[in-house]
Structure 1
């Protein structure tokens, strides 16, 4: 036994034995040391290292050979590896985070796969996915350590966005396991949107799966979570009709502009749409539905505008290249911006030079892009009004009571789906348990086989083979029942919950500590790669 006494109730820094105080007591015991049994740090800063010893030669202890600090590290490492891996979401959304921060954190579509790779290169992140929209920036991960995983992801977000960690932490939300699953299902179903039941978010969740498919790090748990979320989103919309009568961000933008223009009619205003991508096309569609029969569309290429023009034969859609953006804007009353540009398209100094309108007192910018396409200082001008995605709440309140009732119905569906997904996720853990149980049995079989052969003396090769086969057969027969109860078999009628319960029971009975050992191996492997 080795005992280190600091002589104080303060459990501060532990010193190496070579620098221990004069009253340090070292008790020697007979050895033949096999392993350390335990490391304990008591309230009086004593470190006791106990051994399972065999009688042997006297123990010669040098004070410099054992470090109390190292003993403490071993203890901390033991606690560390007992932490379960978990699915987490670290996010910022329109609920708590202003658009000026969200736009800095947004990840362009072309960089999604790179983001996943960078996240999974972090020491404690095993799988990852990024959901970045105009209303949210959410990172879903499988973390080998919750605390360390959150810290690493937050620091990564700060690094790629330039937003200080303190600002991110102030606005971010964090959910684990079942809560994270429930949140993504609610997002996919449109229950967490600015506009309850809006349909575009489901398409964005689908896009994450499409873009990340086959990317290392978008693996079984996270890809399974997102694919299940798509199923939930479809089911909620089909069974509750929550999307009927609701509006999307693009339709809310068109309706907001209509509320603000003179006579609430698009007949009397000149409309400019900047961008002909998914959002731009939706804006044009809703403008047509509101009676707008003429508009100018600025886009980098004409092909998309031609395709939209073919779809709306009775509407005059005039294409202009991006080089004509400012002249077109100066001749427009209402300007919708919906591009993926990472820098503002309209600056205060540019808009300041635009001619004064005759049809209305102020030129209106409806900016539904994140990052924003219109510089925030443009709103300082008396001749301009600027609205962004955070200003759409005014439009959202219509049909709110009806959609709230449908949302309650949707929550029942989501609860069912969360239960099903969590059971599926837990069932994945049976595979390492099966391997661990077989390895455990094989170690015992091999050890007992060697003892038997040694005791029986000279045996022929045939006899050894027969004994070996006997030992293997006994193990296989004994494992047959446990293995069967860890597998999902429709004919046996076992539920996922029952299989998971069986798994936990076997882990307890045989002391397999499956997840602990797997976590430890994964963490060490990732740290070694990081060093290299």
Structure 2
């Protein structure tokens, strides 16, 4: 039971007692004329009777309303707080919907602040990745809290709440906790056992600690989930053959290329963040000797170059992105851009590539929101 139960019920009781004990004012005595004669007594008594009846009816209505208020207040105040997760993932929603709901990491604190300002949300955390967008909350009321979060998601994405509900999953208390543990362990990932999701769960905690946005219940749940994720990976073989989305992207690209040209194909990576860095790592593992990296700043590319040996990394600024794409056979995209970098007209303007490499330039987009518009795929068929 929440702390406000007693005070709210007491307020209702006080209001009830005050109204119940109030007495309507009586009408003045009928005036008498000289010699004891009554003047206009009928009219005066009739008016007084109507007034008394109206006041009695008003008092009865007030008492009934306050009784109903006490019942509703008691029912509401006795409702336990719930831990809940509301979200969607690769298992429930298409990429078109996930990208509209995606929240960039630097915006997580603001999202948490907006959620905790809702009437029935006490604590909140946002886990937004390429494959999922999940909101964890402590709700003072399950029904009211869920409704407020769904409305918030609808407002942020521009997707009607009725359409969102067709793709959302909602879990409560132990089910919500179990789900987070499974996510942290890599059991709910696109690639079973992939390790990047554990780092993303850790980042939720770091982000919350830096901004002061995480409450004690959500903070403890996430820390326990991180511990569980580490134990699963150290005490089982789940990650022995696991790959990440980045490694799967490299595997797919090499499968699409003619076998004889796999290692000689011209590779371009746009975006040198965490996912992009993993792409380079897996290209090295496959024997690729050169990759061109387009990024906003050269510092991050220099850091990757110093860390990784066995591959030539060529930097090109973002302003030369389309020129770099014209010289590439395979284009990997992994940026946080909220709008597509390549539309159909951009792809059409690029020069054709050698038939030895399949005659079709391959775009591999591992970003959410997407960096490559869906209409580009029509040029590759």
Q: Distance in 2 between matches of 1:345 and 1:215?
A: 31
Cα distance, 1:73 vs structure 2: 3.7
**Aligned mates of 2:333, 2:12 — CA distance in 1:** 67
**1:363 Cα deviation from its structure 2 partner:** 1.1
Of 208, 215, 220 in structure 1, the residue corresponding to residue 216 of structure 2 is 220
Give the equivalent residue in structure 1 for 2:359: 361
Q: Is 2:140 the counterpart of 1:170?
A: no
Verify the 8 A CA contact 1:105 1:157 in the aligned structure 2: yes
1:63: which partner in 2? Answer: 57
Taking the aligned partners of 2:220 and 2:343, their CA distance within structure 1 comes to 43
Question: Structure 1: which 5+ residue stretches go unaligned?
Answer: 1-33, 38-48, 386-532
Deviation of 1:319 after TM superposition, in Å, equals 0.5
Partner of 2:133: 137
**Are 2:277 and 1:281 aligned?**
yes
Q: Are 2:172 and 1:179 equivalent residues in the alignment? A: no
Q: Per the alignment, in what secondary structure is the counterpart of residue 114 of structure 1? A: helix
Q: Does 1:333 align with 2:325?
A: no
> What's the RMSD between the two structures over aligned residues?
2.5
Shift of 1:308: 1.4
Q: 1:290 aligns with which of 286, 291, 295?
A: 286
Q: Specify the SS of the correspondent of 1:295.
A: strand
TM-score, structure 1 length as denominator? 0.60
Q: Which residue of 2 aligns with 1:210?
A: 206
Q: 1:68-83 to 2 correspondence within 5 Å? A: 68-83=64-79
Q: Is the 8 A contact 2:185 2:198 kept in 1?
A: yes
Give 1:165 deviation, angstroms.
0.8
Structure 2 counterpart of 1:124: 120
Match of 2:49 in 1: none
Quote the residue 1:90 is aligned against: 86
Q: CA deviation at 1:342?
A: 0.9
Unaligned runs of 5+ in 2: 1-9, 27-51
1:379 Cα offset (Å) = 1.2
Q: Please state how far the C-alpha of 1:380 moved relative to its aligned partner.
A: 1.9
Displacement of 1:305: 1.1
The CA deviation at 1:219 is 1.1
Conservation of the 8 A alpha-carbon contact between 1:190 and 1:197 = yes
Q: How far apart, CA to CA, are the structure 1 residues paired with 2:370 and 2:134?
A: 18
* 1:153-186 deviation line (CA, Å, top 9, x unaligned): 0010111111211121110000000000000000
Structure 1: distance between partners of 2:11 and 2:202: 52
Map of 2:4 onto structure 1: none
Secondary structure of the 1:160 match is helix
Distance 1:179 1:72 in 2: 34
Matches within 5 A, 1:249-264: 249-263=245-259
Q: 1:73 to 1:350 in 2, by over 3 A?
A: same
Contact 2:122–2:140 (Cα < 8 Å) also in 1: yes
Q: Following the alignment from structure 2 to structure 1, what is the Cα–Cα distance between the partners of residues 210 and 348?
A: 49
> What pairs up with 1:314-353 in 2 under 5 angstroms?
314-353=310-349
Deviations 1:391-442 (A, max 9, x none): xxxxxxxxxxxxxxxxxxxxxxxxxxxxxxxxxxxxxxxxxxxxxxxxxxxx
Could you tell me which residue of structure 1 aligns to residue 105 of structure 2? 109
Structure 2 CA distance for partners of 1:361 and 1:73, relative to 1, 3 Å: farther
SS of 1:234's partner is helix
TM-score of the superposed pair, with normalisation by structure 2: 0.83
Aligned counterparts of 2:113 and 2:67: Cα–Cα separation in 1: 36
Residue among 125, 149, 153 paired with 1:153? 149
Alpha-carbon distance between aligned partners in 2 of 1:215 and 1:304, rounded to the nearest angstrom: 25
Question: Relative to structure 1, is the Cα distance of residues 350 and 292 closer, same or farther in structure 2, using a 3 angstrom cutoff?
Answer: same
1:35–1:118 CA distance, 2 compared to 1 (3 A): closer
In structure 2, the CA distance between the partners of 1:319 and 1:77, relative to structure 1 (3 Å rule), is: same
How many pairs does the alignment contain?
Answer: 337
